[in-house]
């Protein structure tokens, strides 16, 4: 049993194709792991019946020698993805009980490739957060603990449930979404691989929108190759999303393991921030050395606007969110709280349905778009955003990819930052730039810190250069040979 | 227009009105602006609704190319600037018939910029009205308030239907001008085929902006475009007929004047026209704290297209009413008045052109504009409900042309056609109305008349006008079926005139 | 620019989120902390910079005018808190 959940996605795929194992037994093993790990609170909805039915269908196809790219592979799905007839709530009370009559394009792509759905994973409410503490179903606990400590750490967010499910071997991979770092930061906190592709690679259709111009779906998995396989299945042009890129999806897995000899890897000096722990600094140096050893040339580059990316993000994302979340009004779906007349009903519904962080961001977004403030905040942020993108364009005339730490710190304790929004926001300092510029980024587990917690390295590539990004990431992965895993303290 | 055409006297002196219109014209498309649901009117509640129109979580808009094309067509018809780069913005507000919590519209960068249209007034004068802009936007759903005393019912069938909002400059100065502007605009979009112009079904409706000012103020505004010379305006929402547009201007102007004369102040607000009471009233529910927080819709990219596409569309534009009217005068020899009547809307012009095809245009114009329109008017019928088809009316004219019937008999035949919808030939046959062109028969009657009435024969030789008496006698004896030309010719011969 | 409790009341109303009077000061404080931090953007010179609304640089895709959707009333109403006779039913709108 343990053996099946320890397989990489690629290895499981090989065994399924070779009929060494059945999709059903692979799925059962994972369902048992999910059931045994409820104390982590990674899942908000488990769908064992659906999983078994899908696994049996996969076995039937495999028996006929058919089957898609992910045939029989059990996956966890972030609750931000709408899944047909399965409660989809974005972990918000306002969507409690909402069962969509439709399937998001990305999850449909996965099912079309033969994947099996284990359930829906917890997340920060409406994907707003970096610790998974704002989920309406309660926080998710990171499978990793500090050495010699029993205190709970956060798994990062917003895709903390997905990252936890993958790190704790509850799923071979999981879908996630990334608006400012919500795939890469939890991946770094849980010792997993997280990929945010180029904006427009994955359709946003059927994914609950947070900030439309920044949101991108991507995978969390345990290896670079596994993530590449998943992304290959998830991505693709979707005519239902006007911002979906009309491009064929490359075979990302084929790019893994290709040589990076002669590639120029940029190291942006502005990512060396004040107060950054030595361990992050040294991790970065180690990563640079690995890249060099693999034949890459290291070039120091400058991204002068880096420190302005986060404040820019905290104008643009809340502004878009304030409008995107207007549809949660208790009129056509979701929860309605009757109040004084129509306006009272709107106000009570939304005050009761949205948690404090979501309310805070809606208020900020409403404020920055309101009459008299638009130019000073929103328009200004859009202009700074262009300058940030221009920075990257400039850097990518000198280098082929960028290497940075994923996060300024390792996983922190539950409750440590939940009362301080600004401290929480700083988690995304290194990841948010890629969202603003629309670039692909990947986080890979690279080392453990002094407390025995995983740390991630991030590779950012030019738009549409995911294959190069995967090549660099897999070279680093090979050099890092990261094989640490959390003790299974939660089982039973 | 040197003088203001409409002045309202007040206790403190005269007042003038200044009117600008925002007309919402539904694009004549099959599907909605951003979803594949049908835009057809009149379906069962919530049946023409997609998940996008209901703003389900994660749903995204994709624009309908045909709607963009119709906006361009309309812009060309308004002789307006077509913007090759435009953008969609979100207009944010909460309302149960607005599922997204925002309307996708175009705020800063509309697809069509400035243009103008020439408007014919009832007195035959024309005015030129400036078009400020045209933009594409989504319609909202429908709230029904009278099905339940404690609740509102919402039908989203209209939610997401494509509208063109056509904004005029404040160039209209009277209720009549405002109504005539709507009539002309409706005519243009119907010629273009971009909107069916059906005001009763809400395919076209107007928001009427009204302000009042003292004589001379408008000219000052015009001179420098400085709006501060004009009064505070109120917007009368959703006016759905030309008549009500005029009514809205009139009653709102009177309301504002009464307030101002009492030393009060006009609050800029949205109002509704009560057509029964003939007054406007405040729409407070929509008024409250309106700050629409427009920003570019991040689900859509800028709308960009090539001039070549605009040129292609331009090639397919039909002849518009102004051009058609000029051609009817210049090439068909119609009077300007007849040409105006016949081109006022596309249906009339199409009808006339079908009737006139291969026939004498003046005769055709006469039959269409005098006889048919007169009869329709009397029967309170629309042209589309005409019991007489173009082919039938054409045939009637042919029967006159080939001397089968006289023009006089033709009027009787027409009356029967209008009543029964029968073909003219069948009526003529059935009623035995065929004209007598047999000169022998007519000659016999004339010979007898001359022989029996020597006195009248004497008279007519001195006073040729008295010939009418003989013509009348012949007609009487033939029940009007004698060919008048032949009768005249023979009489003159035989009387030696 | 500093957010006052009045501002909070105004934007909370715009956003249709009930904000109890007792919490306005606290919320104003929270928003001010964030906005003050955001205002470091004042240091950035953006003269002549075009605003960037999206990172995608393709033309807006258009679809043909074909009815491909609708007639799914049950799906549309499936999650409604209240519906009757095919309509969504919402609190009385007073006009």
Q: Which residue in this structure is represented by tokens 């042919």?
A: B398
Q: Which of A:59-88 have CB within 8 Å of C?
A: none
* CB contacts < 8 A (A, C): 165
Stretch A125-129: mean pLDDT? 97
Q: What is the mean pLDDT of chain A?
A: 97
Provide the pLDDT for residue A1: 43
Q: Is B62 on the interface with A (CB under 8 A)?
A: yes
Domain residue spans of chain B? 7-313, 317-430, 439-495
Contact status, residue B158 vs residue B30, Cβ threshold 8 Å: no
CA-wise closest residue to A115 among A84, A79, A77: A77
B288: closest CA of chain A, how far (Å): 11
CA torsion angle for B328, B332, B338, B339 (degrees, to 10)?
Answer: 0
Mutate which: A99, A313, A363, vs C, most C CBs within 10 A: A363
Q: Nearest CA to A231 among A5, A391, A466, A483? A: A466
Q: Which of A104, A122, A131, A158 is catalytic?
A: A158
Distance, CA of A150 to CA of A242 (rounded, Å)? 48
Q: 């592979």: which residue's tokens?
A: A73
Contact A200 C16 (CB under 8 A): no
Shortest distance, CA A393 to any CA of chain C (angstroms): 12
Judging contacts by C-beta atoms under 8 Å, the chain B residues touching residue C53 are 87, 296, 298, 302
pLDDT of residue C19: 95
ipTM field:
0.97
pTM of the model: 0.92
Chain B segment 92-131 residues within 8 A of A by beta carbon are 92, 94, 96, 99-102
| Number of A–B residue contacts, CB under 8 Å | 99
**B285 and chain C in contact, CB less than 8 A:** yes
Rounded Cα distance, B193 and B26, in Å: 11
Signed CA dihedral, B169, B174, B175, B181: sign only: negative
Residue A322, chain B, CB below 8 Å: the answer is yes
- Whether the per-residue pLDDT at B473 is higher than 50: the answer is yes
Mean pLDDT of B169-184: 97
DSSP category for residue B31: B
Burial class (CB in 10 A: 0-12, 13-18, 19+), B405: buried
Residues forming a β-bridge with A195: A442
Which chain A positions have a beta carbon within 8 Å of B60's beta carbon? 204-205, 240-242
List all chains that touch chain B, counting a touch as 3 or more CB pairs closer than 8 Å: A, C
**Model pLDDT for residues A294-307, shown as the tens digit of each residue:** 999 999 999 999 99
Determine which one of A88, A131, A182, A418 is catalytic: A182
Q: What is the pLDDT of residue B287?
A: 46
Identify the pLDDT of residue B441: 83
Q: Taking CB atoms and an 8 Å cut-off, how many pairs form between chains B and C?
A: 141
Measuring CA to CA, which residue among A335, A331, A346, A129 is closest to residue C15?
A346
- Which CA distances in Å does B102 have to A343, B53, B88, B92, B195? 16, 12, 12, 4, 24
Is it true that the peptide bond before A178 is cis, omega within 30 degrees of 0? no
pLDDT tens for B66-120 read 999 999 999 999 999 999 999 999 999 999 999 999 999 999 999 999 999 999 9
Would you call B49 an interface residue with chain C, using a CB distance cutoff of 8 Å? yes
Q: How many CB atoms lie within 10 A of CB A336?
A: 22
Output the CA–CA distances (angstroms, integers) from residue B469 to A62, A138, A168, B51, C38, in the order listed.
106, 108, 116, 80, 101
B23 to each of B17, B88, B251, B291, how far by Cα in Å?
19, 19, 19, 22
Residue A300 to chain C, least CA–CA distance (Å): 23
- Is A78 tagged catalytic? yes
DSSP assignment of B69-138: HHHHHHHHHTT-PBPSEE--EEEE---TT-TTSEEEE-SSS-SB--EEEEEE-TTS-EEEEEEEEEEEEE
Name beta bridge partners: A298: A265
Structural domains in chain A, CATH included, are: 1-492 (3.90.1300.10)
Task: Spell out which residues of chain B touch residue A326, defining contact as CB-CB under 8 Å.
Answer: 92, 94, 100-102
Query: Could you read off the pLDDT of A62-111 as tens digits, one per residue?
Result: 999 999 999 999 999 999 999 999 999 999 999 999 999 999 999 999 99
pLDDT above 70 coverage of chain A, percent? 99
- Work out the pLDDT band at B1, boundaries 50, 70, 90: very low
Average pLDDT over residues A363-375: 96
Instruction: Please check the confidence at residue B298 and state whether its pLDDT lies above 50.
Output: yes
Q: Which SS3 state, helix, strand or coil, does residue A98 take?
A: coil
Nearest to C70 among B38, B289, B304 (CB): B38
A469, pLDDT greater than 80: yes
B67 and C CB contact within 8 Å? yes
Which residue from C minimizes the CA distance to B291? C14
Is the Cβ pair A311, C37 closer than 8 Å?
yes
A342 contact B CB<8A: yes
A158 is catalytic: yes
**Average pLDDT score over residue span B382-401:** 94
B439-495: which CATH number, 1.20.1440.230, 3.40.640.10, 1.10.10.410, 3.30.360.10? 1.10.10.410
Residue B289 has pLDDT above 90, yes or no: no
Quote the CA–CA distance of C65 and B68 in Å, as a whole number: 10
CB atoms near residue B492 (< 10 Å): 14
Q: Strands of B102-105's sheet, edge to edge? A: B102-105, B89-92, B295-296
CB A54 within 8 A of CB A117: yes
Closest CA to A88 of A112, A59, A121: A121
Give mean pLDDT, residues B190-219.
95
Angle subtended by helix axes B484-495 and B439-452, to nearest 10: 50
- ∠ CA A218-A221-A226, rounded to 5°: 95
Q: Is C69 helix (H, G, I), strand (E, B) or coil?
A: strand
Please give the pLDDT value at position B449.
Answer: 87
Is the Cβ pair C71, B48 closer than 8 Å? yes
């Amino acid at each position: 049993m343990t053996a099946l959940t320890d397989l990489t996605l690629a290895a499981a795929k090989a065994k399924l194709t070779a009929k060494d194992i059945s999709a059903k037994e692979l799925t059962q093993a994972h369902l048992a792991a999910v059931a045994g790990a409820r104390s982590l609170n990674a899942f908000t909805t488990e769908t064992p019946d659906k999983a078994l039915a899908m696994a049996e269908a996969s076995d039937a196809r495999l028996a006929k020698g058919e089957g898609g790219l992910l045939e029989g592979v059990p996956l966890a799905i972030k609750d931000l993805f709408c899944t047909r007839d399965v409660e989809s709530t974005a972990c918000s009370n306002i969507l409690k009980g909402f069962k969509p009559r439709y399937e998001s394009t990305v999850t449909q792509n996965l099912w079309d490739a033969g994947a099996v759905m284990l359930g829906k994973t917890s997340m920060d409410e409406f994907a707003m957060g970096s610790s998974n503490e704002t989920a309406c179903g309660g926080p998710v606990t990171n499978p990793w603990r500090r050495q010699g400590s029993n205190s709970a750490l956060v798994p990062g967010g917003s895709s903390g449930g997905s990252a936890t499910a993958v790190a704790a071997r509850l799923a071979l991979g999981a879908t996630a979404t990334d608006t400012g770092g919500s795939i890469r930061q939890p991946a770094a906190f849980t010792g997993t691989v997280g990929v945010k592709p180029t904006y427009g690679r994955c359709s946003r259709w059927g994914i609950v929108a947070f900030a439309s111009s920044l949101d991108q779906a991507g995978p969390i998995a345990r290896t670079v190759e596994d993530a590449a396989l998943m992304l290959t299945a998830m991505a693709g042009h979707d005519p239902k999303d006007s911002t979906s890129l009309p491009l064929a999806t490359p075979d990302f897995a084929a790019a893994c393991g290709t040589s990076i000899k002669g590639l120029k890897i940029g190291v942006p000096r502005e990512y060396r921030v004040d107060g950054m722990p030595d361990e992050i600094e040294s991790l970065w140096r180690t990563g640079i050395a690995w890249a060099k050893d693999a034949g890459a040339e290291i070039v120091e580059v400058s991204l002068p606007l880096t420190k302005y990316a986060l404040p820019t993000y905290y104008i643009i994302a809340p502004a878009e969110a304030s409008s995107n979340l207007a549809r949660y009004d208790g009129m056509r779906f979701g929860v309605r709280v009757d109040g004084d007349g129509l306006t009272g009903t709107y106000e009570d519904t939304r005050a009761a349905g949205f948690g404090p962080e979501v309310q805070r961001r809606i208020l900020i977004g409403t404020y920055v778009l309101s009459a008299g403030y638009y130019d000073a905040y929103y328009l200004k942020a859009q202009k700074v955003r262009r300058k940030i993108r221009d920075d990257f364009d400039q850097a990518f005339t000198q280098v082929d990819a960028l290497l940075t730490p994923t996060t300024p710190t390792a996983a922190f304790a539950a409750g440590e930052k939940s009362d301080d929004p600004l401290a929480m926001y700083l988690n995304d300092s290194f990841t948010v730039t890629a969202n603003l510029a629309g670039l692909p980024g990947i986080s890979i587990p690279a080392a453990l810190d002094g407390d025995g917690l995983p740390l991630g390295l991030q590779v950012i590539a030019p738009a549409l250069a995911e294959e190069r990004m995967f090549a660099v990431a897999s070279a680093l992965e090979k050099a890092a040979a990261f094989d640490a895993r959390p003790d299974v303290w939660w089982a039973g | 227009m040197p003088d203001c055409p409409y002045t309202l006297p007040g206790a403190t002196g005269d007042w003038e009105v200044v009117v600008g219109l925002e007309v919402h014209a539904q694009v004549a498309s099959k599907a909605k602006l951003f979803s594949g649901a049908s835009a057809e009117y009149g379906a069962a509640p919530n049946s023409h609704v997609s998940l996008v129109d209901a703003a389900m979580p994660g749903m995204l808009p994709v624009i309908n190319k045909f709607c963009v094309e119709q906006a361009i067509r309309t812009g060309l018809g308004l002789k307006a600037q077509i913007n090759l780069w435009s953008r969609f913005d979100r207009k944010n507000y909460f309302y149960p018939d607005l599922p997204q919590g925002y309307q996708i519209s175009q705020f800063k960068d509309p697809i069509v910029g400035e243009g103008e249209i020439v408007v014919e007034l009832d007195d035959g004068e024309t005015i030129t009205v400036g078009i400020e802009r045209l933009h594409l936007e989504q319609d909202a759903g429908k709230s029904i308030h009278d099905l339940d005393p404690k609740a509102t019912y919402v039908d989203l069938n209209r939610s997401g239907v494509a509208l063109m909002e056509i904004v005029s400059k404040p160039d209209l100065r009277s209720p009549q001008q405002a109504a005539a502007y709507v009539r002309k605009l409706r005519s243009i979009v119907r010629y273009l085929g971009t909107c069916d112009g059906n005001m009763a079904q809400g395919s076209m409706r107007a928001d009427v902006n009204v302000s009042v000012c003292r004589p001379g103020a408008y000219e000052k505004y015009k001179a420098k475009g400085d709006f501060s010379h004009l009064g505070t305006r109120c917007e009368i929402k959703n006016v759905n007929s030309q008549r009500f547009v005029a009514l809205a201007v009139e009653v709102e102007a009177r309301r504002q004047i009464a307030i101002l004369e009492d030393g009060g102040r006009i609050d800029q607000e949205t109002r509704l026209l009560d057509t029964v009471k003939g007054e406007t009233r405040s729409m407070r529910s929509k008024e409250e704290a309106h700050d629409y927080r427009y920003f570019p819709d991040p689900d859509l990219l800028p709308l960009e297209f090539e001039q070549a596409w605009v040129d292609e569309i331009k090639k397919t534009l039909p002849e518009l009413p102004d051009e058609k009217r000029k051609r009817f005068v210049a090439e068909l020899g119609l009077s300007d008045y007849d040409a105006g009547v016949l081109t006022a809307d596309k249906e009339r012009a199409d009808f006339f052109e079908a009737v006139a095809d291969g026939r004498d245009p003046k005769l055709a114009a006469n039959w269409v504009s005098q006889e048919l329109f007169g009869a329709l008017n009397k029967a309170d019928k629309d042209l589309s409900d005409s019991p007489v088809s173009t082919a039938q009316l054409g045939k009637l004219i042919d029967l006159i042309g080939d001397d089968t019937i006289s023009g006089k008999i033709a009027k009787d035949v027409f009356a029967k056609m209008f009543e029964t919808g029968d073909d003219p030939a069948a009526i003529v046959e059935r009623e035995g109305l065929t004209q007598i062109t047999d000169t022998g028969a007519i000659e016999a009657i004339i010979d007898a008349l001359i022989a029996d009435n020597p006195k009248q024969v004497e008279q007519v030789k001195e006073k040729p006008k008295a010939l009418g008496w003989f013509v009348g006698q012949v007609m009487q004896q033939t029940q009007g079926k004698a060919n008048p030309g032949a009768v005249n010719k023979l009489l003159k011969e035989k009387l030696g005139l | 620019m500093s957010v006052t409790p009045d501002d909070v009341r105004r934007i909370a109303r715009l956003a249709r989120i009930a904000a109890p009077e007792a919490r306005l000061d606290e919320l104003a404080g929270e928003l001010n902390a964030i906005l003050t931090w955001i205002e470091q953007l004042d240091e950035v010179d953006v003269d002549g910079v075009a605003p960037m609304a999206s990172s995608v640089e393709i033309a807006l895709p258009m679809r043909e005018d074909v009815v491909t959707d609708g007639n799914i009333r049950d799906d549309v109403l499936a999650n409604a808190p209240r519906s009757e006779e095919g309509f969504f039913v919402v609190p009385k709108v007073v006009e």
